[in-house]
Amino acid sequence: MRRVIIAGNWKMNKTISESIELVNGLKRELFGVESIDIVLIPPYTALSGISDMLTDSNIELGAQDLHWEEKGAFTGEVSPVMLKDVGVKYVVIGHSERRTYFGETNETVNKKVKAALREGLLPIMCIGEHLEEREAGKAFDVIEDHLRGGLKGIAGEDALKIVIAYEPVWAIGTGKTATPEQAEEAHKYIRGLLAKIYDKTVAEGLRIQYGGSVKPENIKELINEPDIDGALVGGASLKVEQFVPIVKGSLKKGA
């Protein structure tokens, strides 16, 4: 049985004081929820403070990106060692915003996934097609390319530590969610590919999250799909009154 994982990617939002307020609210409302994994992914500046706030809580910490080297002359970058040091458990890699605005490629994604695993961090590797690609009937080619590219050279036992986030780019921040059927179709396809790349154990054990305009209103129908193991939530993770019902709406499957 795969454990449900709901992660809130705050992107470039929240000052320290705003972060503290949000985390206090989430801790209060989500206290005692143990049957699923809950992950907060704040900006780098808030990691240290939030890490302290989450000690001994049921909520875990994630980061939005990392560099693949351990240390050195890479101005502006943050290494896996530093993330581990601050108490991070999960790290988002290859988000479509990184691919679109900051030149991330399958090659850099692959290097980052390997670096995260090396340091004992759990990668949340994002894949997914643009609208034009879907309309041109290429969605599944893009998914395959991202998946194979990101997982290149990674052994099955390590692959099991990765969470794949399927995020159709046309559904991110647009209010347009993929229908549960569209999402399930993609997730099922990804699981089939994992069985081809690895084996049945990896395909059935690896968790696949859906991301793109997840909100309290649509989480239940998404999470009820057999191959959807959680959600990577952007906008709706910035407010207690939206993120809490998303987590609670996923509990049935996690129980």
Q: Tell the burial category of 69 from Cβ atoms under 10 Å away from its Cβ (0-12, 13-18, 19+).
A: middle
Distance of CA 79 to the CA centre of its chain: 18
User: Shortest Cβ distance from residue 212 to ligand PGA (Å)?
Assistant: 5
Q: Is 64 in the site for ligand PGA (CB under 6 A)?
A: no
Secondary structure of residue 61 in the 3-state scheme: strand
Q: Is 234 in the site for ligand PGA (CB under 6 A)?
A: yes
Active-site residue (options: 97, 167, 184, 187): 167
- For ligand PGA, the binding residue among 64, 79, 213, 250 (CB under 6 A) is 213
Active-site residue (options: 67, 95, 146, 187): 95
User: Shortest Cβ distance from residue 196 to ligand PGA (Å)?
Assistant: 26
Contact track, ligand PGA, 2-41, x by CB under 6 A: -------x--------------------------------
User: Shortest Cβ distance from residue 144 to ligand PGA (Å)?
Assistant: 21
User: Shortest Cβ distance from residue 77 to ligand PGA (Å)?
Assistant: 21
> Does the annotation count 167 as an active-site position?
yes
Q: How many residues line the site for ligand PGA (CB under 6 A)? A: 13
Q: Is 226 in the site for ligand PGA (CB under 6 A)?
A: no
Question: What is the number of the residue whose Cβ is closest to ligand PGA?
Answer: 234
- The two tokens of residue 164 are 């794949």
The residue with tokens 């609210």 is 25
> Does the annotation count 146 as an active-site position?
no
Torsion sign across C-alpha atoms 54, 41, 113, 210 = positive
183-202: string of b/e by CB count within 10 Å (b at 16+)?
Answer: bbbbbebbbebbeebbeeeb
- For ligand PGA, the binding residue among 63, 82, 147, 172 (CB under 6 A) is 172
Q: Residue 162: name the closest of 188, 127, 186, 129 by CA.
A: 127
Q: Is 147 in the site for ligand PGA (CB under 6 A)?
A: no
Q: At what angle do helices 16-30 and 240-249 cross, to 10 degrees?
A: 40
8-state DSSP, 64: S
Q: Is 218 in the site for ligand PGA (CB under 6 A)?
A: no
Helix (H) or strand (E) holding 107: helix 106-118
Q: Is 167 in the site for ligand PGA (CB under 6 A)?
A: yes
Torsion sign across C-alpha atoms 138, 123, 202, 164 = negative
Q: Is 233 in the site for ligand PGA (CB under 6 A)?
A: yes
Which residues does the annotation mark as catalytic? Answer: 95, 167
Q: Can you give the binding site for ligand PGA, defined by CB under 6 A?
A: 9, 167, 172-173, 211-214, 232-236
